[in-house]
Homo-oligomer: A and B are copies of this chain.
Amino acid sequence: MDGHLQRAFDSVRQRSLLLSEPLSSEDCCAQSMPDASPVKWHLAHTTWFFETFVLAAHEASFAPFHPAFRVLFNSYYNGIGSRHPRPQRGLLTRPSLDEVHQYRADVERRMAQLLAAPCADPGLGALVELGLQHEQQHQELMLTDVKHLLAQNPLSPAYLPGASAVSNEVPPLEWLSYQGGLVEIGHAGDGFCFDNELPRHRVYVAPFALAARLVTNGEYLEFIEAGGYRDPALWLSEGWELVAAGVLAHPLYWVAGERGWNEFTLHGLAPLDLARPVTHVSLYEADAYARWRGARLPLEAEWELAVQELPAQGVPAARGSLHPAPAGPGLAQMFGACWQWTSSSYAPYPGFAPAAGVIGEYNGKFMVNQYVLRGSSCATPPGHARASYRNFFPASARWQFTGIRLAR
């Protein structure tokens, strides 16, 4: 194989370790809810992916690092066999974090041997690429999952201490108009994409306008103060049930303080920055806010169309910041700030065919009762975003960096 793949492999794998560096082995072991996984589990599972799908198929005399890991670190692949129950991942105090580091090192050594060998299967490169994209997805989850864990702690510990500077200037909201028409969306070109971005296909899009930036904390605060969480007419029925039950009352990590709202961030607890985009909201909240403003959420085709006309992928987030930054000029924050809820349910594109074999469980089987989010967030690894990328979560999910872009 070519050295490019080996270098990409090293780079992505190294980054996972870097992300866990500010954390203790205790931090890496705990699980704060069934939807979130321990950092240690992410480190092991991404390694399991290479061991199970690459080494087991391509190593001459394959022997697993540890026979029990095939079950322990399987996420949801029924084709691989049984799994450790997801809600109990936080009880795996063994293997220790040190042992998982050894597991990573062992698999990396064997992968290097495999990648250095001649005459490899032509599908091997694609499989390794998929494994790296998969690991990047888990890198984002490591951050959002550990953020959720730390937020449960009354001590409000910071993942990376050092509060961001407070922004004061709020750019006025502008609307950008698009003609739509009979257009094409979906991945084009030779680069990597997931199966759910294919096939590229035609879709009719009516003329529409898109907000040039995301909704800010300040704007969302107006919604709250105007009684947005008290008026059922603004809400989808399911959302209102969550409001009535007290589950939804403000964005997930907003904390009422004596001097107003604070926000828990990966950099610690800080006064709410009104100029930054509101984040950690459910689809229900995004939808209610949009209705209150007389607007709506975009369709995923509208969002993709707008990005197609961009010269590049927008301005990435400030390097090293793990909280969404305020908007710049033009069509801003399409990438690098918050994932943006669309009103499109997660469904197969016309002609969608999942990959053959166990890998085919990657995306297709989740295509019900979830909604598409577009763009990327401040927690997305560099180079991982794409115009055709389709992220997806249930309408009630809030622990990702989810934000609101209006359409009309």
Q: Which residues of A are at the interface with B, using a C-beta cutoff of 8 A? A: 24-30, 32, 68, 71-72, 76, 78-79, 84, 88, 90-97, 149-150, 152-155, 157, 182, 201-204, 206, 232-233, 235-240, 283-284, 287, 343-345, 347-348, 350-351, 360-361, 365-369, 395
Q: How far is the CA of A29 from the CA of B32 in the complex (A)?
A: 13
**Nearest CB of chain B from residue A7's CB, rounded to whole Å:** 33
Contact present for A93 and B149 (CB under 8 Å): yes
**Nearest CB of chain B from residue A364's CB, rounded to whole Å:** 8
Chain copies in the assembled complex: 4
Which of B24, B152, B233, B369 contacts A395 (CB under 8 A)?
B369
Which residues in B have their C-beta under 8 angstroms from that of A283? 368
Contact present for A97 and B155 (CB under 8 Å): no
What is the chain B residue whose CB lies nearest that of A371?
A: B368
| A-B contacts besides A91-B153, A206-B351, A368-B395, 9 pairs, CB < 8 Å | A24-B96, A26-B94, A26-B97, A27-B94, A79-B232, A84-B154, A93-B149, A235-B365, A238-B368
Contact present for B24 and A93 (CB under 8 Å): yes
Contact present for B154 and A68 (CB under 8 Å): yes
Which residues in B have their C-beta under 8 angstroms from that of A27? 93-94
**Nearest CB of chain B from residue A3's CB, rounded to whole Å:** 37
Which residues in B have their C-beta under 8 angstroms from that of A232? 78-79
Q: How far is the CA of A388 from the CA of B147 in the complex (A)?
A: 47
Given A343-B347, A347-B343: A94 and B157 interface contact (C-beta under 8 Å)? yes
Q: How far is the CA of A368 from the CA of B24 in the complex (A)?
A: 40
Q: How far is the CA of A201 from the CA of B299 in the complex (A)?
A: 15
What is the chain B residue whose CB lies nearest that of A296?
A: B348
What is the chain B residue whose CB lies nearest that of A360?
A: B233
Contact present for B71 and A154 (CB under 8 Å): yes
Contact present for B202 and A203 (CB under 8 Å): no
What is the chain B residue whose CB lies nearest that of A32?
A: B91
Which residues in B have their C-beta under 8 angstroms from that of A344? 347
